[in-house]
Amino acid sequence: MQLAFSRLPAALQQTLIYALALALSKAFSLLMVPVATHYLTPADYGRLDILQTLADLLGIVIGMGLTEVMFRFAGAQQQPAERQHIAANVLGLALILALIALVVTQLLAGQISHWLPGDITELECRVLLASLALSNLILVPLAWLQMQGKALHYLLGTAGRTGLQVGLGVLLLMVGFGVSAVLMAGLIAAAVGALWLLQQQWRDTGIRFDWLQFKAFSGYGGPLIFAGMAGFVLGSFDRWILAEHIGTAQMALYALAAKLGLVTAVLIQPFDLWWHARRFTLLEQPQGPVRCARRSEIGLVIALLSALVVAALGPWLIFWLTPAAYHGAMQFVPWLTGLAALHNINNTLGLGAMSQQHTRWPALIDMVAAVIALAGYLWLIPHYGSWGAITATALALSLRALATLYISQWIRPLPWRLRRITLLLGLTTAALALMPRQADAGELPIAAVLTLLVLLAAFGLRLLPVRSEHIDR
């Protein structure tokens, strides 16, 4: 088996290892679903989701787009010494931001806890904010491992951290710590993971503090903060409004379906982890635009198929893993998996806009989409609840994808096969609309046939390669 694996293209080997890393991480996380829903009431589960959405928001601000900075500036260098020099400075900036984030967020923790819906305690808020301060010290070294092709180290860094977090979380929940159990487990796992990953990059690049480079990094990563905040509005802020209008217990059903919807992103990520670290390098090579377009099309197809797989299995996962009080979440799963795929497709379409020395265009597009989504939430959620949130998000994400494609083609045209892509998008949307909404064994063949038809269509439209040599080795 090891010999057969070694004969695979290098790109496929790394993608499979990334897939294993994500599969293990998600498997550990899924273990938390039945435990958390057993020990937490729907109202408590809703409170935990509010805290997790806060983590989504502040993680964007604290992160300052440093992962994309690493890929853009270090990834564009052809000489290893220059690549290491830039990576060392990115790590130095990550350390500075981590210290600033820790001090500032702890000073504001009490006020933040009062701003949040759901009666969040100050202690819960402080523990979460301490974990967030360490996020750059995890994400930046992970990005460096991706660029170096160290997929096995990436596997240890991600799956090991998640396994530790879940193990501690289960233990503390069983003891009776409630929501605090999940948060404390996250803090401990983040600290251990950050120390190990820092040591990995330190050995390769060291740490530098070049203020002139920090200025360039800020010009690229700074606008990504606004893009990320817009992404928070598009992906998480609806839960805050839902909590106010339908309560945390009912919102928990939507949140659980959204959590399963994000499994779509997990299935897409093995390809993305390989591709995003290489796309800018390939873009500047001979036939780069054509090769980038073809590989991006593969990522787009993977996103659509992932949504269909999760839509088919999601109701069964909810049925098996959660008490009956949570089974109402099944009805939302197909649509939320589709929205997760659409979110990923936007990133795929945005290569041209991201290839510049700044990221103002992606930030502007995302902010306009966020305004559209926010207006939709405020208008539709009071009348239609969770379905209003889904409708508003779908409209905003669709308009964002179209704008991203237009701007990216204006900046750096890629030879997309748009008619074929549009046809496959239409077929996938129809398949999601027909997906079962309950855990009924009699409807499993319907879900399987719908997924297979879209897969065959992708091959028929030649959006998926037939031979492995069509992918970089």
Do residues 191 and 292 share a domain? no
Do residues 131 and 267 share a domain? no
Tell me what the mean pLDDT of segment 186-193 comes to: 92
What pLDDT shows up at residue 281? 78
Last residue of a domain, one of 209, 230, 255: 209
The label of the residue with tokens 């399987």 reads: 448
Do residues 263 and 361 share a domain? yes
Do residues 182 and 254 share a domain? no
Residue 461 lies in a domain: yes
d(CA 157, CA 147): 15
What pLDDT shows up at residue 306? 94
Do residues 233 and 300 share a domain? yes
What pLDDT shows up at residue 22? 67
Tokens of 469: 């040599």
Give the pLDDT band (50/70/90) at residue 78.
low
d(CA 340, CA 144): 26
Task: Flag the least confident range among 174-178, 198-202, 400-404.
Answer: 174-178
Residue 195 lies in a domain: yes
Do residues 199 and 225 share a domain? no
Give the rounded percent of residues in the chain with a pLDDT score beyond 70: 90
d(CA 373, CA 451): 29
Residue 324 lies in a domain: yes
Do residues 24 and 145 share a domain? yes
Q: What is the DSSP annotation of 309-377?
A: HHHHHHHHHHHHHS-GGGGGGGGGHHHHHHHHHHHHHHHHHTHHHHTSS--HHHHHHHHHHHHHHHHHH
Q: What is the pLDDT of residues 131-154, one digit of tens each?
A: 988 988 898 898 888 887 787 888
The answer to whether the beta carbons of residues 164 and 192 sit under 8 Å apart is yes
Task: Flag the least confident range among 24-28, 51-55, 124-128, 336-340.
Answer: 24-28
Tell me what the mean pLDDT of segment 339-357 comes to: 85
d(CA 66, CA 107): 24
Q: What is the pLDDT of residues 272-325, one digit of tens each?
A: 877 876 787 788 788 889 999 999 999 999 999 999 999 999 888 888 888 888
Residue 214 lies in a domain: no
| Number of structural domains found in the chain | 2
Q: How many Å is the maximal CA-CA distance in the chain? A: 63
Q: What is the pLDDT of residues 404-432, one digit of tens each?
A: 999 999 999 999 999 999 999 999 999 99
d(CA 390, CA 331): 12
Last residue of a domain, one of 155, 175, 209: 209
Tokens of 315: 């109701």
The domain of 24 spans 6-209
Q: pTM of the prediction?
A: 0.69
The answer to whether the beta carbons of residues 42 and 326 sit under 8 Å apart is yes
Residue 434 has pLDDT above 60, yes or no: yes
Residue 1 lies in a domain: no
Residue 97 lies in a domain: yes
Do residues 231 and 187 share a domain? no
The answer to whether the beta carbons of residues 50 and 239 sit under 8 Å apart is yes
Q: What is the pLDDT of residues 87-133, one digit of tens each?
A: 888 888 889 888 988 999 999 988 888 888 767 888 889 999 999 88
Residues 6+ apart with CB under 8 A from 266: 22, 23, 25, 26
Tell me what the mean pLDDT of segment 166-180 comes to: 86
Q: What is the pLDDT of residues 17-38, one digit of tens each?
A: 777 776 677 666 667 777 887 8
Residue 449 has pLDDT above 90, yes or no: yes
What pLDDT shows up at residue 440? 77
Do residues 386 and 461 share a domain? yes
d(CA 309, CA 313): 6
Q: What is the pLDDT of residues 198-251, one digit of tens each?
A: 998 998 888 888 777 777 677 676 666 676 677 777 777 888 889 888 887 888
User: Residue 176: which region, alpha, beta or left (left: phi > 0; alpha: psi -120 to 50)?
Assistant: left
d(CA 183, CA 286): 49
Last residue of a domain, one of 170, 188, 209: 209
Residue 26 lies in a domain: yes
Considering the chain, what is the average pLDDT of its residues?
84
Smallest Cα–Cα separation from 405: which of 364, 462, 365? 365
Whole-angstrom CA distances from 408 to 65, 293, 350, 412 are 19, 12, 6, 6
What pLDDT shows up at residue 362? 83
Residues in the chain: 473
Do residues 161 and 240 share a domain? no
> What are phi and psi for residue 80, nearest 5 degrees?
-55, -40
d(CA 248, CA 227): 27
Do residues 35 and 163 share a domain? yes
First-to-last alpha carbon distance for the chain, in angstroms, is 20
What pLDDT shows up at residue 471? 47
Do residues 224 and 295 share a domain? yes
Residue 274 lies in a domain: yes
